[in-house]
């Protein structure tokens, strides 16, 4: 481990330890932005007590610090491996004169690539959202660590470990199922298997990975059955996620809408809301089939925005990838406005909650309005990065300064 990463880990653990010992820990543990019915540590302890297993082995704060460190180190190693591949591809393309001469300024330098893994680890460990989740003992940190290990395994080209960690992530929550597509695309890319439905090699690898993924998931589900002695947990976990019976306010889009919903419309709109997470997978996979790592970033962002019980810890995971796309900043259009909105919303969440719940001078409309604005800002941020990524790829292929047939400057319009 690099000395800079070691220092970063020490600082992150120290910050968490200090905050955990302060009075802030009890306050944050009750915040609806930080914990949800699925990630609240209180519910974990209550569940273990109901099983009559005594004191939880994870009742201390060390376990959550460890989860954050595992996530940061896994992301650091994954991005480091990815940057090596980016540099190698750039080198081959430059030697083959595949880039237009006027777009050489878009090529990423080795110095720029060298510091990105450390920035990714810093963006995750020192992100206030991550720190708050850790101090609140949210189990979101465990989910993030499994997803980070899945990403690392995929970057290393290990199909078996990738499938196992993805099955673990799916076991915790259904939504990581959408990450199958980028994992398959990346692993095929690593093994030089063309994404072509007519090729037998494509279908053979698809069947292999699906068998490893579904087999691992089946083993985990069966182990849960042998531990509990019934299948009741399937409806209690996955049914809970999909049917959204607990309408406790959070930073998601579901709770207010379904609190006001007529019961006979509920099933229809549940399907409409839930399909958002899965709907974008196929078109994005087609558009980004040559860029599966960016597709992973997009899918993580979509999951954190449209899942039924999101927390700020989910947002911290995909935001950790922003330094990887630092070369897109020149093409971003709304990053300053979106950043200001996200900061303002983060500050207003506790204010409007206090006015609604304690002061009684506001109502749920105020809190949901800021929630909507927060999610719209996230959507604008992700779509802005998507636009910038596609525009850079276009310039890399056709040149930075486009000309019309008459020699005048052309305007690029992406549709």
Q: Which pLDDT tens digit goes with each residue over 336-383?
A: 999 999 999 999 998 998 888 888 887 888 899 999 999 999 999 999
Q: Are 67 and 112 in contact (CB under 8 A)?
A: no
- What pLDDT is recorded for position 50? 53
Confidence (pTM):
0.89
**Residue 104 lies inside a defined structural domain of this protein:** yes
CB atoms within 10 A of CB 410: 12
Radius of gyration of the chain (CA): 22
Number of domains in the chain: 1
Query: Using CA atoms, how far apart are residues 397 and 15, in angstroms rounded to an integer?
Result: 45
395 part of a folded domain: no
| Positions of the chain with pLDDT lower than 50, given as ranges | 54-65
Mapping DSSP onto H, E and C, the string for the chain reads CCHHHHHHHHHHHHHHHHHHHCCHHHHHCCCCCCCCCCCCHHHHHHHHHHCCCCCCCCCCCHHHHHHHHHHHHHHHHHHHHHHHHHHHHHHHHHHCCCCCHHHHHHCCCHHHHHHHHHHHHHHHHCCHHHHHHHHCCCCHHHHHHHHHHHHHHHHCCCHHHHHHHHHHHHHHCCHHHHHHHHHHHHHHHHCCCCCCCCCHHHHHHHHHHHHHHHHHHHHHHHHHHHHHCCCHHHHHHHHHHHHCCCCCCCCCCHHHHHHCCCHHHHHHHHHHHHHHHHHCHHHHHHHCCCCHHHHHHHHHHHHHHHCCCCCHHHHHHHHCCHHHHHHHHHHCCCHHHHHHHHHHHHHHHHHHHHHHHHHCCCCHHHHHHHHHHHHHHHHHHHHHHHHHHHHHHHHHHHCCCCECCCCCECCCCCC
Q: Which residue has the tokens 């820990």?
A: 25
> With the C-alpha atoms ordered 316, 318, 323, 329, is the resulting torsion angle positive or negative?
negative
pLDDT score for 239:
83
Burial of 302 (0-12, 13-18, 19+ CB in 10 A): buried
Question: Taking CA 366 as the corner, what is the angle to CA 28 and CA 371, rounded to the nearest 5 degrees?
Answer: 60
User: Token pair 């201390």 is at which residue?
Assistant: 60
- Is 162 domain-assigned? yes
Is 363 within a domain?
A: no
Domain extent for 171:
3-324
Burial 216-230 (b: 16+ CB within 10 A, else e): bbeebeeeeeeeeee
> What value does the mean pLDDT of the chain take?
84
Residue 391 lies in a domain: no
33 inside domain: yes
Residue 248 in contact with residue 255, Cβ under 8 Å? Answer: yes
**Look-up: residue for tokens 């330890």?**
17
Q: How far apart are CA 88 and CA 186, in angstroms?
A: 16
* Whole-angstrom distance, CA of residue 233 vs CA of residue 229: 10
pLDDT digits (tens, 9 = 90+) for 185-210: 999 988 888 888 788 888 999 999 99
* Domain membership flag for residue 279: yes
Polymer length of the chain: 415
Query: Do the domain assignments include residue 402?
Result: no
For residue 151, count other CB atoms closer than 10 A to its CB.
Answer: 30
């Amino acid at each position: 481990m690099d000395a800079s990463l070691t220092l970063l880990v020490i600082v992150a653990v120290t910050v968490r330890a200090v905050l955990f010992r302060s009075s802030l820990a009890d306050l944050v543990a009750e915040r609806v932005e930080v914990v949800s019915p699925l990630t609240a540590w209180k519910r974990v302890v209550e569940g273990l007590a109901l099983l009559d297993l005594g004191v939880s082995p994870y009742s201390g704060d060390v376990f959550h610090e460890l989860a954050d460190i595992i996530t940061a180190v896994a992301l650091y190693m994954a991005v480091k491996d990815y940057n090596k591949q980016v540099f190698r591809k750039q080198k081959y393309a430059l030697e083959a004169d595949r880039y237009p001469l006027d777009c050489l300024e878009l090529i990423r330098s080795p110095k720029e690539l060298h510091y990105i893994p450390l920035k990714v680890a810093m963006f995750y460990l020192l992100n206030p959202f991550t720190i708050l989740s850790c101090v609140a003992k949210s189990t979101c940190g465990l989910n993030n660590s499994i997803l980070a290990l899945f990403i690392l395994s995929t970057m290393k080209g290990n199909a078996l470990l990738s499938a196992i960690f993805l099955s673990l992530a799916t076991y915790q929550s259904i939504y990581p199922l959408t990450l199958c597509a980028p994992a398959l695309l990346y692993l095929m890319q690593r093994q030089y298997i063309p994404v072509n439905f007519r090729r037998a090699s494509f279908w053979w690898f698809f069947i292999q990975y699906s068998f490893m993924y579904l087999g691992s998931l089946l083993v985990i589900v069966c182990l849960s059955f042998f531990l509990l002695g019934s299948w009741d947990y399937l409806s209690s976990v996955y049914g809970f996620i999909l049917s959204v019976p607990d309408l406790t306010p959070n930073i998601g889009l579901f709770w207010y809408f379904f609190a006001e919903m007529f019961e006979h419309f509920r099933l229809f709109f549940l399907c409409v809301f839930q399909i958002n997470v899965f709907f974008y997978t196929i078109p994005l996979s087609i558009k980004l089939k040559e860029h599966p790592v960016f597709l992973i970033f997009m899918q993580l962002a979509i999951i954190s925005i449209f899942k039924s019980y999101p927390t700020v810890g989910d947002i911290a995971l995909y935001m950790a990838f922003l330094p990887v796309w630092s070369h897109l900043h020149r093409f971003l259009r709304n990053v300053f406005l979106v950043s200001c909105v996200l900061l303002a919303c983060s500050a207003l969440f506790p204010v409007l909650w206090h006015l609604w719940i304690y002061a009684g001078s506001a109502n749920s409309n105020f809190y949901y309005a800021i929630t909507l604005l927060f999610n719209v800002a996230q959507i604008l941020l992700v779509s802005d990065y998507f636009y910038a990524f596609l525009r850079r790829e276009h310039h890399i292929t056709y040149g930075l300064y486009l000309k019309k047939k008459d020699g005048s400057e052309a305007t690029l319009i992406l549709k």
